[in-house]
Chains A and B, each alone.
Chain A
Amino acid sequence: MSGVHVTTTINGDEVDFVCPADETLLDALRNRLGLTGAKEGCGTGDCGACSVILDGRLVCSCLVLGAEAQGRKIETIEGMADGEKLHPLQRLFISHAALQCGICTPGFLIAAKNLLEMNPDPTEEEIRFGLAGNLCRCTGYDKIVRAVQAAAKEMRGA
């Protein structure tokens, strides 16, 4: 196998991997780097379970090539907590019962974090449209939206 050598920064750490030119970033994260927090729900960019932040932008890692990560900065769910301290979104997802099976949860947390970074005080509608790229089949989104509202409030210090 002739592969592409990629040097990239993931959750603040510089890492190297070699992958075929047509391999997705999702597969590289999961199969080469052991970062299985990003999930493959569809492989076509429709479900958002593989969401990561690439240079500050929310992307479906199943639609990005591993080779495209060269020299970029990637944030994944594995880097969201600060040591023992959970991100407010992580903590409030648990306390608001905003997850049932949990397969979509990493993607939702990444998407919600990105949303609140861009818009710290979103309306309910802005939250709903901001998270419309992430599918959840268990919760009906009710408790997810409430958890994001609570996190936004807490993070604004309101």
Chain B
Amino acid sequence: MVHVVLWGALKSASGGKDAVDVEARDIRELFRKLEAEYPGMKPHIDRGIAVSINGTIYRDTWSQTIPPDTEIYLLPRIAGG
């Protein structure tokens, strides 16, 4: 089980929860399950969500594996200059 911590803008999509638990082996599966359970997250996922796993931020590598029982953080896909 992966403990997924949400940032503010996602809380309304999850019914006000700060975090949700999802069974997922990689980022692709994580997004698929989040979308299925919380349809309100789809626009955010479409716009781009980055995933922080053990301190490393992944923006695009959806095949990135998530170790079991990890606490991960979802973040907006940031822009830079």
Instruction: Decide if A and B touch, CB cutoff 8 A.
Output: no
Interface residues in chain B, defined as those with a beta carbon under 8 Å from any beta carbon in chain A: none
